[in-house]
Amino acid sequence: MVKIPFSPAFIPPLTNGDKLNRYEFERRYDSTSKVKKAELIEGIVYIMPAALRFRSHGQPHARILTWLGNYEVLTPGVELAIEPTVRLDLDNEPQPDAVLIITPAAGGQTRISEDDYIEGAPELVVEIAASSTAIDLHGKKQAYRRNGVKEYIVWQVLEQKLSWFSLEQGEYLELTPDANDILKSRIFPGLWLAVNELLTGNMLAVLNVLQSGLQSREHAEFISKLGND
pLDDT (0 to 100) of residue 126: 97
Residues of the chain with confidence (pLDDT) below 50: 1-7
pLDDT (0 to 100) of residue 6: 43
pLDDT tens digit sequence for 14-44: 998 999 999 999 999 998 878 888 999 999 9
pLDDT (0 to 100) of residue 200: 95
Comparing C-alpha atoms, which of 79, 10, 80, 89 is closest to residue 42? 89
Q: Which CATH number fits domain 53-228: 1.20.1250.20, 3.40.50.410, 3.30.360.10, 3.90.1570.10?
A: 3.90.1570.10
Query: Kind of pairing, strands 118-119 and 86-87?
Result: parallel
pLDDT (0 to 100) of residue 54: 87
**Average pLDDT score, the chain:** 92
Q: Which helix (H) or strand (E) holds 203?
A: helix 203-214
Longest dimension (CA), the chain: 77
Domain residue spans in the chain? 53-228
Question: Which residues in 95-131 are b (16+ Cβ under 10 Å) and which e?
Answer: ebbbbbbbbeebebebeeeeeeebebbbbbbbbbbbe
pLDDT (0 to 100) of residue 4: 42
Neighbours of 194 (CB within 10 A): 23
